[in-house]
Amino acid sequence: MISVYQNKISNNVTLRDYESMKRYIKLIQWGRQNPVAFIEKILGITLMDYQKWLLSESWTKEYVIWACSRNAGKSFLIGCFMMARSLLFPKLQTQIISENWTTANDTFRKMEDIASNNIKTIVNNNTVFIDELKKTKSDSDGFTHDYKTGNKCELCNGSKINAIAGSSRSARGRRSNVNVYDEAGFIAQETFDVTEPYMSQDSSFKLGGSFDSDVYPQDIPNIRLYIGSASDTNSNFYAKYKEGTKQMLIGNDKYFVADISCNIPIHPTVDGQPVTPLLSQDEVDRKMRENEIAANREYYNIFDHFDLEDSVVSRTDIFSNTEIFVPKLSWGGKKHKYIISYDPASKNDNAPVLITEVFKNEDKQICGRLVHMENLVVTYGDGSKRPMRIDEQVKRIRELVYEYNGRENIAPYENVTLLLDFGAGGQASAIAQELAKDWEDEAGKKHPGVYDDENEFSVLWAEGYPKCVKGCLKLIEPRKYRNALFEAAKVLVPQGIIKFPPPCPKYDTLVLEDGTEKKLSKPEMASLIQMDLMKEEIVAMVRIKTSVGNVTYQLPPEKRGKMHDDRNYVFVLACWEIRNLREEEEYGDGVGLDYSNMFTKKPTSNENDPWLNALGIHGSNKRVSPFQGKSPFQR
């Protein structure tokens, strides 16, 4: 699609050509002035009233922030926006930017599904956008999927849409007219610093031998779209949301900020008439019962408030250290070692078990990767969810230890370390006693128990079991180590030492870093869901100074009683063990200094004694007072 200006510039267009293209040109100019009508009439997509408002208000702005509830259709609206803008403005460069491949790919695929009429909720057979795509192969639909260069498509008018694969930090030096930051609440500052300069060049800048600035109109400005659900007040998305709101309120027409809570998609209208909602009130109420903090953030756009100095781990730190991988439900093979951290419960709490793989990064430093989580909880006849019986928990822990050690033909427990919270509430003493016993698997094979040789009680419980293995089990007393556990997490996560799994996908398919798709099993989906809940608990924990001046780590007052913290506890247990391993590798057991010379009554020679030399005593076996001679206190 092109623009033609009759008799104003040499464009190789005759009057006959111009007349044949006149209707086409008018259509383009009309679409630029009326983007909502263009989407509905030309692309055949019906928009809800609040979606029309978002598009029309954002069309000519430079800085656009949408804080939208889950299921508000923001990805769908982004797709419509990119399609219309690319069709109406030639040579437009659009970049979809995210921290990971999955998010960028999902946004691109949503646009692709709209263009290909693959969305169930839209009854349409429109092919306008597909027909305008350049097709490099006869069997191609015009959409290219490549994890190295990113998913992309190019239109006949020269416009391009590109989804940057993986971390955008590896994609410097690009140019763009539209930057789309989907899930902006989880994008690190470094990514913004790298990608926002894509648009530093003014969109109206042009040069050329036949260029006449009096003929060409001023181009539509470059636009930055920051889109996502609410995150926390320490995120870059919140900073842009706050600044954009201030600028819009003082009348700066370059900014537009929209806050779409769940109340709008629950009661949508089309041309003023109520229609079937995108989101049900029952779903929101269910989420509020399950996790009020997360529901307020994701459905009501209430940003979590954390003091950056007092937070243990920020949401941005987690997202920056997220890798795309499938949860590992068993031993990974030779040289794979694991930490199994377990917080038992006997009555009302969760009983989470976290599996952390220990590995070395490119710098040969010990790191941890969170690869699996289970919650040893069952649903009883009355509908309540409570921890398994103690014997059932012990059985499952033994199975996990056996599974991640490597099962058959592997020395007992050489590949695993089991960290057990030794607090009184979860009957940890009873569990530790059971773990010391020999046990038999389903195949009838006998296995030795485990005990902590640094715990006096565990040593006593293992006395009747001569095959019991030491070194695998560590009983951690929470009161003694609590601050050290949280401080380990506070130090390691921002350094990138701890790697997190991806968010659980909406469906059962995970898009990997190489662009391939992996269908997840139910245990793998359950594992990712548990680790998503763990992340919510992690970012909620803060450092609190008590009235007597002591420091402790716990949930802030407004969140106590509304959310759990036990998944977070097994996480900090794993961080603590990783930190211990790193310190052991760096410093070893330590080399003690020999202080005996300081206490020898009659040294045979003090000629080369560094301690005595430091006191100014040299070359004689005679004991000399260090205070003899002129007093240093005399004037």
The distance of Cα 279 from the centroid of its chain, to the nearest Å, equals 25
pLDDT at 169: 46
Checking if the pLDDT of 592 tops 50, the result is: no
* Residue 256, H or E segment: strand 255-260
Q: How confident is the model at residue 510 (pLDDT cuts 50, 70, 90)?
A: confident
What pairing do the DSSP bridges indicate for beta strands 63-68 and 178-182? unpaired
Checking if the pLDDT of 35 tops 90, the result is: yes
User: Which tens digits make up the pLDDT trace of 533-551?
Assistant: 999 889 888 888 777 777 8
* Residue 552, H or E segment: strand 551-554
Distance CA 463, CA 281 (A): 59
Average pLDDT over residues 512-538: 88
Checking if the pLDDT of 380 tops 90, the result is: no
pLDDT at 230: 87
User: Which tens digits make up the pLDDT trace of 287-331?
Assistant: 888 777 788 888 999 887 765 567 888 887 888 888 889 999 999
Q: Which residues of 445-480 are buried (b: 16+ CB within 10 A; e: fewer)?
A: eebbbbbbeebeebeebbeeeeebbeebbbbbebee
DSSP-derived secondary structure for 432-461: HHHHTS-EE-TTS-EE--EE-TTSHHHHHH
Question: 64 in the Ramachandran plot: left (φ > 0), alpha (ψ -120 to 50) or beta?
Answer: beta
User: Which tens digits make up the pLDDT trace of 211-251?
Assistant: 455 445 567 789 999 998 888 887 888 999 999 999 999 99
42-47 LR contacts (CB < 8 Å, sep 24+): 42/128, 43/80, 43/83, 43/84, 43/126, 43/128, 43/129, 44/124, 44/125, 44/126, 44/128, 45/80, 45/114, 45/122, 45/124, 45/126, 46/122, 46/270, 47/80, 47/270
Q: How confident is the model at residue 358 (pLDDT cuts 50, 70, 90)?
A: very high
- Cβ(428)–Cβ(420) below 8 Å: yes
pLDDT at 1: 39
Tokens found for residue 83: 């399609």
User: Which tens digits make up the pLDDT trace of 431-479?
Assistant: 999 999 999 988 888 999 999 999 999 999 999 899 999 989 999 988 8
Distance CA 422, CA 474 (A): 9
As a whole number, the mean pLDDT across the chain is 82
pLDDT at 286: 86
Domains of the chain: 1-33 (no CATH), 47-203+215-288 (3.40.50.300), 315-586 (3.30.420.240), 593-635 (no CATH)
Q: How confident is the model at residue 79 (pLDDT cuts 50, 70, 90)?
A: very high
Checking if the pLDDT of 630 tops 60, the result is: no
Judge if pTM exceeds 0.75: no
Checking if the pLDDT of 620 tops 70, the result is: no
Least Cα distance to 134 among 115, 109, 165, 160 occurs for 160
Q: Return all residues near 159 (Cβ < 8 A) that are at least 6 apart.
A: 86, 87, 89, 90, 91, 92, 93, 94
Average pLDDT over residues 421-440: 87
DSSP-derived secondary structure for 603-620: -S--TT-HHHHHTT--S-
Share of the chain above pLDDT 70, in %: 83
- Cβ(225)–Cβ(136) below 8 Å: no
Q: How confident is the model at residue 148 (pLDDT cuts 50, 70, 90)?
A: low
Average pLDDT over residues 190-212: 65
